[in-house]
Amino acid sequence: MTLHRRQLFLPLVLLFLLGSALWWRPARQPAERSRILMGTVVEIEVLDPETAQTRSAIDAAFAEMARIEALMTPHRPDSDVSRLSSSAPFTTPAPETQTVIAAGAEIARQSAGAFDLGLGRLIQLWGFVDGTPQRPTDADIAAALVGVGPGDVVVSNGQVKKSRPDLQLDLGAIAKGYAVDRAVDVLQKAGIRHATVNAGGDIRLLGDHDGRPWRIGIQHPRQPQAVSATLLLSDVAVVTSGDYERAFDIDGIRYHHLLDPRSGLPARRCQAVTVVAKTAMQADALATAAFVLGPVDGLALLERLPDVEGLIVAADGKTLLTSGLAERVQWP
């Protein structure tokens, strides 16, 4: 069979159009994926050119976060946290859980007990984890605080020790940050150089954004659609804790999930705290610690620690910054 020139023309034109369409595809199309993990939306954005390898690295990063969640969630009876919270003797959780508890115990020490790993019973009582949030009675709060205080949970010689057998652990203020760090580690080991992992406000930045810093908008604590500041950052973690994230009102009083271990009540001195640090684990725990300490002691803590910066919105709406952040902030 012979083909006439006219019969060849159309397929050639189509081939040309298809070829140029492929050619003109933008080279840098960030790969973005999200999944629900640890009770929040986790987003991974990779700027490196999308290949089969980047796609499988993102899947592996999500899988790693799910593995960490399974160890540290209070929702599964077989998690390390549930087993450590039961009165039955169990002292040797996975190395990852030990790492997180040791880091949390250090921040408990640095914050003079404003951060506490032994608040499981209190958090359960307030119903923030599951069930309907409610204002507990003072007697119930006092009972939930028995055994809580500096040094109530420590790791020594690879063993987790509690102040009392019935003390219950909660890693809600630190485990999400650790999971973000693990995800970044997986991406980095797969050769990815520019990415962000965001677990509902627990963010870690890998590399920079096309030779410039990433621009991270910090949500305004009282205007959900507005930002209170924009931070220009690369290769760090940035984590925000706010009283607007999980809260309820009774008779005009706002109750939220950041609790002062000394009173058992929501901490009242801040609206939001953002911490910049090398790891999301440290930033996550310090954001909660500084929130509970309040603007004066909280800012002093963030200022005192090396490689740590922060932005605090106090209860009266005033914003305070650590000295190292001034050159990296843009106001709206």
| Binding-site ranges for ligand ADP (CB under 6 A) | 115-116, 119, 123, 128, 170, 172-173, 176, 200-201, 241, 245, 257-259, 261, 284, 288, 292
Range in contact with Mg ion (rule: CB under 5 A) among 35-43, 183-191, 236-244, 320-328: 236-244
Contact between 243 and 201 under an 8 Å Cβ cutoff? The reply is no
**Number of residues that this document lists for the chain:** 332
CB of 55 to ligand ADP, least distance (A): 28
Cβ-closest residue to ligand ADP?
172
For the residues of 229-252, what is the DSSP string, one character each? EEEEESSSEEEEEETTSSEEEETT
Give the one entry of Mg ion, ligand ADP, none that residue 187 binds, where binding means its C-beta sits below a cut-off of 5 to 8 angstroms depending on kind: none
Nearer to Mg ion, 272 or 287 (CB): 287
CA–CA gap between residue 128 and residue 124 (Å, rounded): 7
Coil vs helix vs strand at 174: coil
How many residues bind to Mg ion according to rule CB under 5 A?
A: 5
Nearer to ligand ADP, 196 or 241 (CB): 241
Contact between 118 and 169 under an 8 Å Cβ cutoff? The reply is yes
Range in contact with Mg ion (rule: CB under 5 A) among 88-96, 211-219, 250-258, 285-293: 285-293
Contact between 130 and 123 under an 8 Å Cβ cutoff? The reply is no
Nearer to ligand ADP, 200 or 207 (CB): 200
CB of 253 to ligand ADP, least distance (A): 18
For the residues of 78-134, what is the DSSP string, one character each? TSHHHHHHSSS------HHHHHHHHHHHHHHHHTTTSS-TT-HHHHHHHTSSSS---
Does residue 173 touch Mg ion according to CB under 5 A?
yes
Contact between 124 and 140 under an 8 Å Cβ cutoff? The reply is no
Give the one entry of Mg ion, ligand ADP, none that residue 122 binds, where binding means its C-beta sits below a cut-off of 5 to 8 angstroms depending on kind: none
CB of 170 to ligand ADP, least distance (A): 5
Contacts of 316 (CB under 8 A, 6+ apart): none
Nearer to ligand ADP, 257 or 328 (CB): 257
Residue 142: CB atoms within 10 Å: 11
Does residue 287 touch Mg ion according to CB under 5 A?
yes
Nearer to Mg ion, 274 or 288 (CB): 288
Range in contact with Mg ion (rule: CB under 5 A) among 103-111, 119-127, 171-179, 213-221: 171-179
Give the one entry of ligand ADP, Mg ion, none that residue 118 binds, where binding means its C-beta sits below a cut-off of 5 to 8 angstroms depending on kind: none
CB of 36 to ligand ADP, least distance (A): 14
Coil vs helix vs strand at 262: coil
CA–CA gap between residue 44 and residue 56 (Å, rounded): 12
Nearer to ligand ADP, 46 or 123 (CB): 123
Among 48, 181, 284, 309, binds Mg ion (CB under 5 A): 284
* Angle ∠(314,178,64) on CA atoms, nearest 5: 140
Q: Where along the sequence are the contacts to Mg ion (CB under 5 A)? A: 173, 241, 284, 287-288
